Amino acid sequence: MTVTDSAASALENALQRTSLDTSAARNLSTTTKSTPQMQGITSRWLLRMLPWVQVDGGVYRLNRRLTFTLDDGRVQFESTGAEVRVIPRELTELSLLKGFDEEDVLRALADRFAQRDVQAGEVLVQAGTPADQVVLIAHGKVGKFGTGKYGDEVRLGVLADGDHFGGHVLADSGGQWDFTARALTAGTVLTLSRQAFDELDGNAGGLRAHIQHRLTTADRPQNDEGEAAVDLAAGLVGEYQLPQTFVDYERTPREYELDVAQTVLRVHTRVADLYNKPMNQTEQQLRLAIEELRERQEHEMINDRRIGLLHNADFANRLPSRSGAPTPDDFDELLSVVWKNPGFFLAHPRTIAAFARECSRRGLYPSTVDLGGHQVPAWRGVPVLPSNKIPISRARTSSVLLMRTGENDQGVIGLHQTGLPDEYQPGLNVRFMGIDDKAVASYLVSAYYSVAVMVPDALAVLEDVEVGRED
């Protein structure tokens, strides 16, 4: 059909109509408009669930009772092809070497570790045999097994990349292993025999003195959490001498400075003046910019290496999964760490889906709880909340957080400061920066925040759970 034929057909249809065509009628009507939509807006459960503490001076000092012994940290390694070596400075993560700073000695000690590739099921140490080596796990999972009350084998725990055991061998050449360590997967470990350590120790400067100092410190009276003990008396009858005591504090408490997420929003004055109905252009620009800032704020509170929850969980509270996928057993293990009034689980939506598959496989159906009008899944009555800010690695593994919240409960708290100049929302202000010679108005948008873990057992992390397993 030619253009002339098409025009003739349209004219013929117009002559046949008995009412106004809708396409022509739209020229006299207005449209109903939505506000600008943004796919990146999420529920931001972490920001909603955390209690926020006012920080008037911009710095929050977290005071704790003095702790004599710290939980051992994780050791990092470097590799060249199939060869794996422990980074010398990382050896100070062993409890007895913490604080030791002689680089030459640490390097010599690191060189004495021998690499050992293990297969699944291979025994690394056997209960009842002499404890004569330090074992560092470079890659893979190792199970610790003991003997139960009735003679059956019981699993005492699972160790994964960066974990270690046998550090006491550096101070004691006697004793026996009270557990069996068996590889659950193929992997690589580094071992240091007591003999190799003794050969170094004769020329190790202050290493032996440092270890003895650490042992003396560890022998001070303390409670189960390593805090300086308070001497008390109870259950005695008659007259007796009351113990005298005091509660000691940390000498150098940690201080949290408020972080900031900022951007400069630019709006042309002609847009703000002429195209301002039915919606205020500046307000809509601000709304979307603030949404993006709040998303970034939550991301930093989870992932930032200084303050992020994933990096501030105590090493003793970072648990490996039992089988790879997130199972009910793993969630129960988290609850065994954060058992004092647990607040909520936080996991990536795909991790929650993987957990649901594991529950279905076992014939379990998690309950739901009402949270501010939302029905959310729960495990043992504790809400399981989604957050896409928890990363998924290239190996399709992720983490699950469980936390207790609130300052009074010694939990996880958010930190902010309200009453800011030009405050737009609590802890967020919008400051007009002026109009440049191109008639563009600028607004500085700033969100101030931080997050603190009051005591270590307020936060636990289930690490490296597989979210893509379909079997």
Q: Please report whether residue 119 resides in a domain.
A: yes
Residues of the chain under the 50 pLDDT cut:
69-71
pLDDT at residue 221 in the model: 63
Question: Domain check: are 120 and 52 in the same one?
Answer: no
Q: Which residues 6+ apart lie within 8 Å of 36 measured at CB?
A: 284, 287, 288
Residue carrying the six token digits 């994780």: 74
**What are the phi and psi torsion angles at 270 (to 5°)?**
-65, -35
Question: Domain check: are 412 and 330 in the same one?
Answer: yes
Which residue, of 218, 239, 270, is where some domain finishes?
218
Question: Domain check: are 262 and 358 in the same one?
Answer: yes
Q: Please report whether residue 237 resides in a domain.
A: no
Asked if 427 contacts 420 with a C-beta cutoff of 8 angstroms, the reply is yes
- How many domains in the chain? 2
- Order across the sheet with 344-347: list the strands: 318-320, 459-466, 397-403, 344-347, 382-386, 374-379, 368-371
Task: Give the count of beta carbons closer than 10 Å to the beta carbon of residue 442.
Answer: 14
pLDDT at residue 69 in the model: 47
Closest by CA to 347, choosing from 360, 339, 356, 336, is 356
Which residue, of 166, 199, 218, is where some domain finishes?
218
Tell me how far apart the alpha carbons of residues 159 and 143 are, in angstroms, rounded to a whole number: 6
pLDDT at residue 413 in the model: 97
Question: Domain check: are 287 and 399 in the same one?
Answer: yes
Tell me how far apart the alpha carbons of residues 419 and 426 are, in angstroms, rounded to a whole number: 8
Question: Domain check: are 133 and 281 in the same one?
Answer: no
Closest by CA to 412, choosing from 316, 295, 308, is 308
Closest by CA to 348, choosing from 178, 198, 211, 463, is 463
- Which H, E and C letters describe the chain, residue by residue? CCHHHHHHHHHHHHHHCCCCCHHHHHHHCCCCCCCCCCCCCCCCHHHHHCCEEECCCCEEEECCECECCCCCCCCCEEEECCEEEECHHHHHHCHHHCCCCCHHHHHHHHHCCEEEEECCCCEEECCCCECCEEEEEEECCEEEEEECCCCCEEEEEEECCCCEECHHHHCCCCCECCCEEEECCCEEEEEEEHHHHHHHHCCCCCHHHHHHHHHHHHCCCECCCCEECCCCCCCCCCCCCCCCCCCCECCCCEEEECEEEEEEEEEEHHHHHHCCCCCCHHHHHHHHHHHHHHHHHHHHHHHCCCCCHHHHCCHHHEEECCCCCCCHHHHHHHHHHCCCCCCEEEECHHHHHHHHHHHHHCCCCCCEEEECCEEEEEECCEEEEECCCCCCCCCCEEEEEEECECCCCCCEEEEECCCCCCEEECCEEEEEEEECCCCEEEEEEEEEEEEEECCHHHEEEEEEEECCCCC
Average pLDDT of the chain, as a whole number: 87
* CATH number of the domain that residue 87 is part of: 2.60.120.10
Question: Domain check: are 157 and 123 in the same one?
Answer: yes
264 vs 137, 300, 341, 461, CA distance in Å? 47, 19, 41, 36
Tell me which residue range forms the domain holding 169: 77-218
Question: Domain check: are 271 and 411 in the same one?
Answer: yes
Q: How far is CA 426 from the centre of its chain?
A: 25
pLDDT at residue 204 in the model: 61
> Looking at this protein, which amino acid is placed at residue 470?
E
Q: Please report whether residue 420 resides in a domain.
A: yes
Tell me how far apart the alpha carbons of residues 154 and 165 are, in angstroms, rounded to a whole number: 18
Question: Domain check: are 341 and 386 in the same one?
Answer: yes
| Tokens describing residue 31 | 């449209």
Question: Domain check: are 275 and 201 in the same one?
Answer: no
> Looking at this protein, which amino acid is placed at residue 425?
Q
Question: Domain check: are 98 and 164 in the same one?
Answer: yes
Cα Dmax for the chain = 118
How does pLDDT run across 183-223, given as a tens digit for each residue? 988 889 999 998 888 887 555 667 777 887 777 765 556 66
Interstrand relation of 259-268 and 440-453 (parallel, antiparallel or unpaired): antiparallel
The pTM of the whole model exceeds 0.85: no
pLDDT at residue 334 in the model: 96
Q: Please report whether residue 294 resides in a domain.
A: yes
Q: What is the CA radius of gyration of the chain?
A: 31
Question: Domain check: are 288 and 211 in the same one?
Answer: no
pLDDT at residue 81 in the model: 65
Tell me how far apart the alpha carbons of residues 230 and 296 are, in angstroms, rounded to a whole number: 43
Q: Please report whether residue 246 resides in a domain.
A: no
Q: Please report whether residue 20 resides in a domain.
A: no
pLDDT at residue 322 in the model: 83
Closest by CA to 218, choosing from 72, 103, 88, 74, is 72
Q: Please report whether residue 230 resides in a domain.
A: no
**What are the phi and psi torsion angles at 196 (to 5°)?**
-65, -35
Tell me how far apart the alpha carbons of residues 206 and 173 are, in angstroms, rounded to a whole number: 19
How does pLDDT run across 225-245, given as a tens digit for each residue? 666 677 676 766 777 777 777
- Order across the sheet with 153-159: list the strands: 123-125, 180-183, 142-147, 153-159
Question: Domain check: are 51 and 89 in the same one?
Answer: no
> Looking at this protein, which amino acid is placed at residue 141?
K
Q: Please report whether residue 227 resides in a domain.
A: no
Which residue, of 159, 191, 218, is where some domain finishes?
218
